Structure 1
């Protein structure tokens, strides 16, 4: 199963490198595009669930690394929850 990394720019201009156990993340995001925080979170949750389900179907167990990554993203996003114009930009994909 091809894993990948994707790079984000947060509303405070900091950058994160994130992990996905599947290329499905590319179906939910476009490099160079910024997403409203709530939209970004909904998309990343759905993509991560699909990726984890794919791992479970192939190996018989969910991807704990994907779950950890999602928890980290949600924790970081919580810092911007009170900013109605907060956006997260997808910088690039790395396969």
Structure 2
């Protein structure tokens, strides 16, 4: 599996380097694009869920790191749920 990292910028300009065990995240995000917070969360759930299932298909168990990454994304996002027009930018893949 090609491990991917993607850098995101939150509405407060802080950044997080995120992990995916699969390149599938490239199907959901584009570098430089801004996503409404809820859209970003939904895309993250779907992309990391698919990535985890790809690990399960190959190795027989889901990827706990992908689910941990999703939990971190959701924890950070809570800080911005009351912010009008909150957007998350996908800065880059590496």
TM over 0.5: yes
Shorter chain as normaliser: what TM range? Answer: over 0.9
Find the counterpart in structure 1 of residue 3 from structure 2.
3
Find the counterpart in structure 2 of residue 14 from structure 1.
14
**What secondary structure, in the 3-state scheme, does the structure 2 residue paired with 1:18 have?**
strand
Unaligned stretches of 5+ in structure 1?
A: none
Find the counterpart in structure 2 of residue 72 from structure 1.
72
Aligned length: 94
**What secondary structure, in the 3-state scheme, does the structure 1 residue paired with 2:93 have?**
strand
Q: TM-score, normalised by structure 2?
A: 0.99
The 2-side partners of 1:84 and 1:61 are apart by: 39
The 2-side partners of 1:85 and 1:45 are apart by: 20
The 1-side partners of 2:57 and 2:8 are apart by: 28
Q: TM-score, normalised by structure 1?
A: 0.98
**What secondary structure, in the 3-state scheme, does the structure 1 residue paired with 2:83 have?**
coil
Find the counterpart in structure 1 of residue 53 from structure 2.
53
